[in-house]
Structure 1
Amino acid sequence: MRYATNVRVDAPPAAVWAVLADVGGWPQWTPTVTAVETGGAGLAVGTTVTVSQPGRRPTPYTVDTLEPGRRFRWSRTAGGVRQWADHVVRPLPGSDSCEVDLTFAMEGPVGGMLGRLGAATIRRMVDTEASSPKARAERSAG
């Protein structure tokens, strides 16, 4: 199961990246995250970030890809399920705006089945997580 969405943000890419990459601040601007534990570290490959979401147990993800100012991805593997989430800020040529691309996937022997069962919730959460930094970055830029 894989779901991707993107949202145009009328704010500079650097401002959008600042919002998105401050994962400890996510509970302040998205209702899909209630707490984030980073162990005091910023985003770096190998950093473990534990995300708490409404109705779910805290989930640790390890940052496996980081392109500062542009992209980070984190992932985890447990119980036959590999989950990953990719977060990308793409500048739009000829403007001071950008797009945010978010992708969430569940893979593996159990991941596909769990992904299909939770597909509606996953889509709703990923869509909310794409529109929430848009609102915050546009307010800050405006």
Structure 2
Amino acid sequence: MWTVSRDIEAPADTVWQILVDLEAWPQWGPTVTGATLDGAGFELGATGRVWTPVGVPLPFTISELDPGRMWGWRVAGVPATRHGVEPGGQRCRAWMSAPVWGPAYLPVLATALRRIEKMAVDAAGGRPQPPQVTGRP
């Protein structure tokens, strides 16, 4: 899998809630205009529908889940992206992965992570921080 990540100045729990809130998906997912679950809970094996800008609903299944840490899904029966968060005190690292055949999707995932950062920092009452530069010239 190909992976992009972003350090976020917000607690991991805040980012996790954004990742699993289907109503929030269109706010951070550039290729998502809506999503619904068939059942009541975001759990392993849960099914639902996701709408893309084309307007066609696609079925999905939550195929991987480590609550509070990572989830992955299959869309229209095809392995799709994985989404995760690594705690680090009052900050965290969020990441997303695309299948090995999907490196062209990495810019979309990077955009999603920037949007998630803004949502999480706003929810935590802070501001996005500039990247840390370490080392010597």
| TM-score range for the pair, normalised by the shorter chain length | 0.7 to 0.9
Over residues 100-127 of structure 1, what are the superposed CA-to-partner deviations in whole Å (9 max), with x where a residue is unaligned?
1101216xxxxx4xx4xxx54x222211
**Cα contact 2:83–2:97 (8 A) shared by 1:** yes
Query: Residues 127, 49 of structure 1: CA spacing in aligned structure 2 closer, same or farther, 3 A cutoff?
Result: farther
3-state SS of the aligned residue for 2:106?
Answer: helix
Select the structure that is richer in helix: 1
**Cα contact 1:32–1:129 (8 A) shared by 2:** no
How many residue pairs match? The answer is 125
Q: Which residue of 2 aligns with 1:126?
A: 109
The root-mean-square deviation of aligned C-alpha atoms, in Å, is 2.1
Over residues 10-52 of structure 1, what are the superposed CA-to-partner deviations in whole Å (9 max), with x where a residue is unaligned?
0011111111111232123444311112125221111113222
Alignment of 1:1-142 (within 5 A): 2-55=1-54, 57-76=56-75, 78=77, 82-92=78-88, 95-105=89-99, 112=101, 115=102, 119-120=103-104, 122-142=105-125
Over residues 39-83 of structure 1, what are the superposed CA-to-partner deviations in whole Å (9 max), with x where a residue is unaligned?
2522111111322222363322211111111111111465xxx32
Letter aligned with residue 3 of structure 1: W
Cα distance in 2 for residues equivalent to 1:56 and 1:6: 29
> Percent same amino acid among aligned pairs?
31
TM-score, length of structure 2 as denominator length: 0.78
Cα distance in 2 for residues equivalent to 1:123 and 1:9: 18
3-state SS of the aligned residue for 2:6?
Answer: strand
Cα distance in 1 for residues equivalent to 2:29 and 2:45: 24
3-state SS of the aligned residue for 1:23?
Answer: coil
Shift of 1:88: 0.7
Cα distance in 1 for residues equivalent to 2:45 and 2:71: 12
Letter aligned with residue 130 of structure 1: L
Instruction: Name stretches of at least 5 consecutive residues in structure 1 with no aligned partner.
Output: 107-111
Instruction: Name stretches of at least 5 consecutive residues in structure 2 with no aligned partner.
Output: 126-137
Moved over 4 A (4+): none
